[in-house]
Amino acid sequence: MNLCINEHYSSRELERQISSSHFERTMMGNRKLSAVLREMHPNIDNTLKDNYVLEFLGLPKLHSENNLQTALIQKMKEFILELGRDFIFIGQEYRLQVGNQDFFIDLLFFHRGLSALVAFELKIGKFSPKDLGQLSFYLEVLDRDVKKEHENPSIGILLCRDKDE
């Protein structure tokens, strides 16, 4: 009830959130947040979910990361409603320069409540430790070169088709 009030859900959006088990996914995700993440971001409760439901994208079962990224950009309003209203979209393929090399974060957001940059790395396959290493590298560069002094440390979300507990 509080979430519905705080997020100003329309009746249609409330029905979608109930049918996609939004509350349960949010609560499950909160229990699994690391102690380090909670220490850096004390207000993180009810912000991140364990699973995201992206059926509104209408993608076929087999699709590329580029198709996923393009569909998310085209359906940004629905994606932000799935994430939560405090997310602000900064850019896609956000360029980070390290030395003479360029690296690109798939999607970059800012979360107003957490006052932190949130990087999304999109993977269409199963979880792989190398993906986590790539995301950790991006977070380090964001904190060093992009984050403002008054902002909290950046957060990374690895969005994979299948999760590995």
pLDDT digits (tens, 9 = 90+) for 104-136: 999 999 999 899 999 999 888 888 889 999 999
The answer to whether residues 78 and 87 touch, using CB atoms and an 8 Å cutoff, is no
**Residue-level length of the chain:** 165
At residue 60, the pLDDT reads 81
Domain 2-159 coded CATH 3.40.1350.10: yes
Residues of the chain with pLDDT under 50: 29-30
Q: Which amino acid is at 21?
A: S
Reported as a single tens digit per residue, the pLDDT across 75-86 is 777 777 777 778
Per-residue tokens: 7 = 């997020």
At residue 30, the pLDDT reads 47
SS (H, E, C) 108-138: EEEECCCCEEEEEEECCCECCHHHHHHHHHH
Cut 0.85: pTM above it: no
Going from N- to C-terminal start, the domains of the chain cover 2-159
Angle CA 103–43–55, to nearest 5: 60
